[in-house]
Structure 1
Amino acid sequence: MQSPLLDHAALTGDEHFALQNPQMLRVVLDGRTSVLARSGAMVAHTGRVQFTGWAPPTGNGRGRGSRRQQPTALDLMRCTGTGTVYLANLGRHLHILDLRRERLTVTSTYVLALDSTISWQVVGVEGGERIAGVGSYSLELTGTGKLVLMTSGQPLVMRVEPGRYVYADADAVVGWSSGLEVQLQAQSSNTEAWRRRGTATEGWEMAFTGSGVVLVQPSELLAPQRVPVR
């Protein structure tokens, strides 16, 4: 059989986290380390690999909050064993970040995988439970290890400098440097802007100030919807 399709054979190498292609992650397990991945994200694997449900341990600061909250914040499975695991989710573009004790806040929806050495706590943006993109929970991650984020398309990274505000549609924001000051504000006085994706041209935006970066995807979580006023 001959076809350009056959050019997309599995890559080789022993790098722990690597991209098979822009929408697929390749994770090499050596039997000594484990990886946490979004439940259901495995699309293929080789070798002797086990996938088990995972819940954050109590008392160590990882995944702070009640046990009832954690599955909502981030539903993970642990990948262990020896072999190669391929992870993906809805064809989203993937980005590997190497955290070195930095603090990064991300919307949990956009986390695909992370090293088990990374810790997080659930944080909230005031009023964020009313906004589709911000949601009820964001995660402040810290530690040393690899973190893999997902975006719908290639993202935009906006640098925030002291004394200069950066604004982004709340439904398009993926994450930001945790040291930034964040405010939510309506982009319109139209009462429907206070509803989830109302009829205003734009609904909610996030304003960032301080020093750091903001990661924005070229897609809003929900398409604009007309919501009748009642």
Structure 2
Amino acid sequence: MQSALFSHTENPSQDRYAVQNPQLLRVALTGSDDVLARKGAMVAYQGLVDFDGEYQSSSQQRARAHTGEGLDLMRCSGQGTVYLANLAQYVHVLDVTSEGLTVDSNYVLALDSTLNTEVIAVDSQYGISGTGKYQLNINGHGKVALMTSGQPLMLQVTPEKYVNVDADAIVAWSSGLRVQMQAQTHSSGVWRRRGNTGEGWELSFLGQGFALVQPSEVLPPQNAQIGSGARAQFGVGQQGAYGQNQNNAWS
């Protein structure tokens, strides 16, 4: 049998986390270093690998119940190779250091089990379509794999150059940055986007660090709901960007 498909072979990289292709992550397990991955993200594996639901502490369960922010994870352990993906989103591997990383949990594909996660509040009294008033803070030392809809843009933030980002496009940022949320509108109704620009909420980042932006203002489609209403307005209902796929509705 011959086909161009046979050129898509395994990545020979010796790295623990390796991007097999832009939308597929390869993780090597050696038996002593578990990986926590998004539930259901495994597309293939080799070797003796076990998958188990990750336990959530009572404080994590309370935070999830009150804020809606948190991670649904499975623990991957053993010896072998695991391939992870989610809805063909682009995959990126970051090294988390003492600087820390703040991220929307919807964009986390996998992370080292040695990293710590905590739900934090963003400087806003509003819950909006993209980045809401709660986010996930990841700290410690290890690697985390993030997902974006399309190829992202990494913006450097310095004391001399602060950065403004559409709240629906931001993926992650350095935890040490100061964050302020504001509405770009002159209307008395702050919940209504400006009619002449289409722009709504934005985040302002000040300090020293980075902000990761994706070329999309649509929530990851794992949150899709077939129906109308506010969620459709932001691209995840039958009136939105993913509404043409109703027979395979990312349930």
What TM-score, normalized to structure 1? 0.86
AA of the residue aligned to 2:123: E
Q: Hey, what does 1:225 align to over in structure 2? A: 233
Residue 138 of structure 1: how far off its partner (Å): 0.9
Q: Within 5 Å, which residues of 2 pair with 1:96-107?
A: 96-107=93-104
Residues 14-37 of structure 1, C-alpha deviation per residue, up to 9 Å, x if partnerless? 421111111100011111211000
- Conservation of the 8 A alpha-carbon contact between 2:157 and 2:210: yes
- Whether 1:190 aligns to 2:187 is yes
Q: Hey, what does 2:88 align to over in structure 1? A: 91
Residue 86 of structure 1: how far off its partner (Å): 0.3
- Whether 1:73 aligns to 2:67 is no
Q: 1:157 to 1:128 in 2, by over 3 A?
A: farther
Residue 151 of structure 1: how far off its partner (Å): 0.8
- Whether 1:150 aligns to 2:158 is no
Q: Distance in 2 between matches of 1:135 and 1:205?
A: 11
- Conservation of the 8 A alpha-carbon contact between 2:63 and 2:119: no
Residues 74-94 of structure 1, C-alpha deviation per residue, up to 9 Å, x if partnerless? 111100111111000111111
Q: 1:193 to 1:7 in 2, by over 3 A?
A: farther
Q: Distance in 2 between matches of 1:97 and 1:35?
A: 14
AA of the residue aligned to 2:97: R
Residues 105-160 of structure 1, C-alpha deviation per residue, up to 9 Å, x if partnerless? 11111110000111121112133652121135311111111111111111111111
Q: Distance in 2 between matches of 1:68 and 1:205?
A: 26
- Whether 1:161 aligns to 2:158 is yes
Q: Secondary structure at the match of 2:141?
A: strand
Task: State, as a whole percentage, how many aligned pairs show the same letter.
Answer: 52
AA of the residue aligned to 1:173: I
Q: Distance in 2 between matches of 1:114 and 1:178?
A: 17
Which of 162, 170, 173 is residue 173 of structure 1 equivalent to? 170
Q: Secondary structure at the match of 1:179?
A: coil
Q: Distance in 1 between matches of 2:39 and 2:122?
A: 25
Q: Distance in 2 between matches of 1:139 and 1:64?
A: 14
| Runs (5+) with no aligned partner, structure 1 | none
Structure with the higher fraction of residues in strand conformation: 1
- Conservation of the 8 A alpha-carbon contact between 1:64 and 1:120: no
What TM-score, normalized to structure 2? 0.79
Q: Distance in 2 between matches of 1:216 and 1:130?
A: 19
| Runs (5+) with no aligned partner, structure 2 | 220-230, 235-251
Larger relative contact order, structure 1 or 2 (CA cutoff 8 Å, min sep 6)? 1
AA of the residue aligned to 2:19: L
